[in-house]
């Protein structure tokens, strides 16, 4: 760097000195000796001025940037960002700003990658943990049968049923895991169609009728209009509704009620799924959409829950450019809400 500023200084100073000498010679008022000494003084003064300017102002700043880039290479982002912030306000603030933006972007990308990496690691750990329980249980029942319980007429059917129940749970879990990961990787695209939402809710009620009857829960549709046509993926939306209504029945009180409300405005239908069950405590509410999060682990498992139902609902609703929210009051019940685009065609 020093060598470059010296060469540049010599060249520029020589040009200035030559111009000066030419000009003095042209004026023809000084002797050759005086012109030569003036040229020499001009050369040295110009050299010094240019050299110092380059060295201490421009090159010093460039050196600073080089050092910062060195840090960038070493991924020392935190210090780098701080340094750039401190150099703001001088002539180089624009370059600094550009670098600052670049580094900030890189930092965000790295954070995002770290988050994804953590997510993958946690997901793998969670999935292995969740798969372990039904596999080991089914294995236990089958081995007990093989070890002689098969001859015990009273217990063999009971054990076989228990093994089958665990394997059914395993299948539901694997299906949910596949669906969730397909949605997360963007592999699963929504197929948008227009359909009658009221009709779909009625079909879902019929499908879950037996479950609701077991607990003497009433399923009620509160719709502002008889036919509300929405633009959405019917298959995925149906799945999201089934998860929400099924949860409302599962976690709701016996002899209670589950209400699906459809309220239409100009472009949207506002959906609510409301139960009058025990509700969700405030410390759990923010986490119910997390994968495998259960307020009461044993209760959810005993009810056949995979712990992925609400994560799937959240992904489906997000894929429809909407957001699902939850409000709950202990002892009063829970409301899940989201909106869907309506359509005038259909």
Distances (CA, A) of 294 to 131, 134, 199, 251, 288: 16, 17, 31, 11, 7
Residue among 96 and 314 whose Cβ is closer to ligand ADP: 314
Smallest separation (angstroms) from ligand ADP to the CB of 293: 6
Point out which residues pair with 212 in neighbouring strands: none
Q: Give the total of residues touching ligand ADP (CB under 6 A).
A: 21
Q: Which of 16, 103, 179, 248 binds ligand ADP (CB under 6 A)?
A: 248
- Cβ atoms within 10 Å of 167's Cβ, excluding its own: 16
**CB of residue 311 to ligand ADP, shortest distance in Å:** 6
Q: Which helix (H) or strand (E) holds 258?
A: strand 257-264
In the chain, where does DSSP find H-type helix? 2-27, 32-52, 59-73, 77-86, 93-146, 153-184, 197-214, 234-251, 282-285, 297-302, 309-318
Pairing mode, strands 218-223 and 257-264: parallel
Q: Does 238 bind ligand ADP (CB under 6 A)?
A: no
By DSSP bridging, strand 193-196 and strand 333-341 are: unpaired
Of the pair 264, 301, the CB lying nearest ligand ADP is at 301
Q: Which of residues 259-318 bind ligand ADP (CB under 6 A)?
A: 275, 277, 280, 288, 293-296, 300, 305-311
**247 counts as binding ligand ADP under rule CB under 6 A:** yes
Is residue 334 involved in binding ligand ADP (CB under 6 A)?
Answer: yes
Of 84 and 180, CB closest to ligand ADP: 180
In terms of CB distance, is 177 or 280 closer to ligand ADP? 280
Binding site for ligand ADP (CB under 6 A): 243, 247-248, 251, 275, 277, 280, 288, 293-296, 300, 305-311, 334
């Amino acid at each position: 760097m020093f060598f470059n500023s010296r060469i540049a200084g010599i060249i520029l100073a020589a040009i200035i000195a030559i111009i000066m000498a030419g000009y003095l010679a042209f004026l023809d008022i000084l002797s050759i000796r005086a012109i030569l000494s003036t040229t020499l003084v001009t050369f040295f003064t110009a050299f010094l001025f240019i050299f110092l300017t380059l060295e201490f102002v421009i090159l010093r700043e460039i050196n600073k940037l080089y050092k910062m880039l060195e840090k960038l290479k070493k991924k020392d982002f935190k210090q780098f960002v701080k340094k750039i912030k401190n150099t703001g306000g001088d002539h180089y603030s624009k370059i600094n700003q550009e670098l600052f933006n670049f580094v900030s972007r890189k930092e965000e990308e790295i954070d995002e990658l770290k988050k994804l990496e953590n997510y993958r690691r946690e997901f793998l750990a969670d999935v292995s943990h969740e798969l372990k329980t039904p596999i080991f249980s089914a294995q236990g029942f089958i081995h007990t049968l093989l070890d002689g319980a098969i001859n015990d007429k009273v217990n063999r059917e009971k054990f076989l049923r228990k093994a089958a129940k665990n394997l059914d749970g395993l299948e539901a879990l694997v299906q949910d895991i596949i669906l969730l990961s397909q949605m997360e990787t963007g592999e699963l695209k929504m197929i948008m169609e227009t359909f009658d939402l009221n009709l779909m809710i009625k079909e879902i009620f019929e499908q879950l009728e037996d479950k609701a009857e077991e607990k003497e829960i009433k399923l009620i549709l509160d719709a502002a209009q008889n036919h509300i046509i929405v633009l959405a993926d019917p298959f995925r939306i149906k799945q999201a509704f089934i998860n929400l209504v099924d949860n409302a029945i599962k976690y709701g009180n016996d002899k209670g009620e589950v209400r699906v409300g459809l309220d239409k405005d100009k472009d949207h239908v506002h959906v609510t799924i409301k139960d009058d069950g025990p509700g969700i405590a405030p410390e759990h509410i923010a986490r119910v959409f997390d994968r495998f999060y259960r307020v009461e682990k044993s209760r959810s498992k005993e009810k056949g829950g995979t712990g992925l139902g609400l994560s799937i609902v959240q992904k489906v609703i997000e894929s429809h450019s909407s957001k699902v929210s939850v409000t709950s009051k202990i002892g009063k019940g829970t409301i899940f809400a989201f909106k869907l685009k309506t359509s005038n065609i259909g």
